[in-house]
Amino acid sequence: MSTSMPAARPLFDYPKYWAECFGPAPFLPMSREEMDLLGWDSCDVIIVTGDAYVDHPSFGMAIIGRLLEAQGFRVGIISQPDWHSKDDFMKLGKPNLFYGVAAGNMDSMINRYTADRKIRSDDAYTPGGVAGKRPDRASAVYSQRCREAYKDVPIVLGGIEASLRRIAHYDYWQDKVRHSLLLDAKADILLFGNAERAIVEVAQRISRGETVQSITDVRGTAFVRKDTPEGWFELDSTRIDRPGKVDKIINPYVNTQDTSACAVEQAKGDDKAAAAATVDEVQVLQLLPHPRLERDRTVIRLPSFEKVRNDPVLYAHANRVLHLETNPGNARALVQRHAEKDVWFNPPPIPLTTEEMDYIFGLPYARIPHPAYGGEKIPAYEMIRFSVNIMRGCFGGCTFCSITEHEGRIIQNRSHDSIIREIEEIRDKVPGFTGVISDLGGPTANMYRIACKSPEIEAACRKPSCVFPGICENLNTDHSSLIGLYRKARELPGVKKILIASGLRYDLAVESPEYVKELVTHHVGGYLKIAPEHTEEGPLTRMMKPGIGSYDRFKQMFEKYSKEAGKEQYLIPYFIAAHPGTTDEDMMNLALWLKRNGFRADQVQAFYPSPMATATAMYHSGKNPLRKVTYKSDGVNVVKGERQRRLHKAFLRYHDPKNWPLLRDALQEMGRSDLIGNSKQHLIPTHQPAGESYHSSRRKNSTPAGSRKAGRILTQHTGLPPRDTGAGKKPRKGSRPAR
């Protein structure tokens, strides 16, 4: 059996479809008028998306649309359609090949609801930030309307909502397990993960006359099958990770289909005399084939939808097995029964090469929103229009995060030349550029060009994280290529500053003091946000995050190099409340840590159970899928009640007087009344101040009057000391600058 990553056909190695003669469009059309101007009588592919159409490589519809255009297909965009009827889904006419449907850059439920299940007041992916422009479960709704519009047109699902809902999944908003999205949407095929390889292969084959139902051999796809095809070895997931009670071990040389022989083996130890009387009848008929010998023709059968819906332990087991089969180098196909149908999941897509990444990011993006929006601001675009994505993927494996499930844990990198060209394009073409690149990053700022030292080990590895519980000995942590990129980028004419805004993996960064010095000296805009997430071992272990000691090491290096550079800069740590595995005592200890270190958290992040995440399986089942799951295995403390969730958030905002009554009651119940008092050593005061209320610095950027060391407390929102709002006052010598 090969231990290297399977080969994949390069994206730029396909013959072009006949419509290549039309060339690239200034923007992919969103109306028949635009199609007429391009000389098109119809679209080959129509992409339906829940986001506003921004022709920029940070937006999924732009990447997929431009990639298909480069393959020679005519691609139209239906952005944020009115889903109450089929009319908007027909405005570009009937697509010749298929509809491509996606909810947008976010899961539509996470986009619309907060962690407390309250409707959000805005939508960053809509012009003007207006909320309510997409339906709940947008992928399913859009698919149904496409089917109503043209019932014979294939529907191809994609995007992060499709990735995270491809199997039977726990839905936080309904508090139940739902079917695979493929079935709920009644789509023909679902593409999960980064779908460039799959969408090009599917489009090419449909254009050659193949039916979408016949396309069952493309990696990164899910589809419906009636039965396991001939020539495949089906392996029950409980054989590789058995949940529940362990049965007595049966002689491996017994044919388990021979019921009398099995009865003999099962009777051993219970009735030795009866067993001895019939043991002569045992015959060895066959050896079961070893699944490792036929890995590429093996499919693992997960517990059915009906079983995982009714049994949280089996749900946790299925989630664990799925995550064990995510390495493209060794993953096997999966299948899960839903009533009378099998939903089949091929192995994940092969990661893109650097040449393919350069090809995708070098496509002719306009880099601005479609003119149909009349220049109205789209908040998500405003955030990223001067940023550059240098890589994909994350090998951190944080259990609450969905990046690994969608982009994979193998880092896919662009070349220096490709990145520099994009910076030059921003400088020369994007309106409003002032010389500041807001980010060179990706899912993680400093995983660029970091990978396993051995391709063979990488292809065979089944670990969910390369950096937990410590950095893997096989991981190359060399940051030199990233340092070189930073230096090239800031030397470009017309570029004044290169900032790094993506999340930093500080436990990796401390392995390269040169990188930390480079970052702190040249690329921090006054503050740097990092995410230790917690201080206590219990929740950190369930998150698969490093201990707070790694944060302390990084903080020392950050402060040292800031001082050497003559800069006053601040580290702003982010934390999660109510994560599975967190107790009230854990949150209390975190609050004490925050107070000792002078942090006041204005934006509190509560755990949000996103579909398919490992932490979501913990939340639903009360079990830990990071270890073998059984009915008797240790449970995970889960924070579900509204009062306890509010309490955990209140500990993070211990400084807010609105939270003091709840904290007083909780501390008394916990036997920690010693933390209630009016000295510096106490967490909260004894009495509620009359008429005093807390004003978030998010709104006012100022420290409440009378607070300890006014002007010196760091805020999580700004990362800087609150601004002195006294009119006409001159800053004291040595005071911190207002930003």
Cβ atoms of 297 and 232 closer than 8 Å: yes
DSSP line for 513-571: HHHHHHHHHHS-SSEEEEEEE-SSHHHHHHHT---HHHHHHHHHHHHHHHHHTT---EE
Cβ atoms of 1 and 329 closer than 8 Å: no
Name the residue type at position 380: A
> Dihedral sign, CA of 620, 623, 628, 632?
negative
Place of tokens 């422009």: 133
Cα separation of 545 and 182, whole Å?
Answer: 33
Cα separation of 345 and 324, whole Å?
Answer: 14
- Comparing C-alpha atoms, which of 641, 669, 653, 643 is closest to residue 590? 653
- Helices 196-207 and 60-70, axial angle in degrees (round to 10): 40
User: How much is the CA Rg of the chain, to the nearest whole Å?
Assistant: 28
Cβ atoms of 737 and 568 closer than 8 Å: yes
Give me the phi and psi of 396, to 5 degrees please: -70, -40
How many CB atoms neighbour CB 474 within 10 A? 14
Cβ atoms of 344 and 299 closer than 8 Å: yes
Helices within 640-717 (DSSP H only): 642-652, 660-669
Q: Considering all CA atoms of the chain, what is the largest pairwise distance in Å, rounded to the nearest integer? A: 102
Does the annotation list 401 as a binding residue? yes
Helices within 234-378 (DSSP H only): 237-240, 259-267, 272-278, 305-310, 312-324, 354-361
* Angle at alpha carbon of residue 270, lines to 266 and 272, rounded to 5°: 95
Tokens of 235: 């392996």
Cβ atoms of 27 and 65 closer than 8 Å: no
DSSP type of residue 676: B
Cα separation of 330 and 409, whole Å?
Answer: 13
Cα separation of 307 and 314, whole Å?
Answer: 7
DSSP line for 590-620: HHHHHHHTTEE-SS-EE----TT-HHHHHHH
Cα separation of 188 and 208, whole Å?
Answer: 17
Phi-psi region of 417 (alpha: psi -120 to 50; beta: other; left: phi over 0): alpha
CA distances to 359, 600, 659 from 707, rounded to whole Å, are: 55, 12, 16
Cβ atoms of 279 and 260 closer than 8 Å: no
Cα separation of 492 and 490, whole Å?
Answer: 5
Reduced to 3 states (helix: H, G, I; strand: E, B; else coil), residue 248 is: coil
Tokens of 546: 């490093």
Phi-psi region of 261 (alpha: psi -120 to 50; beta: other; left: phi over 0): alpha
Cα separation of 354 and 416, whole Å?
Answer: 10
DSSP line for 413-462: E--HHHHHHHHHHHHHHSTT--SEE-EEESSSTT-TT-EES-HHHHHH--
Annotated binding site: 394, 398, 401
Binding-site annotation, residues for [4Fe-4S] cluster = 394, 398, 401
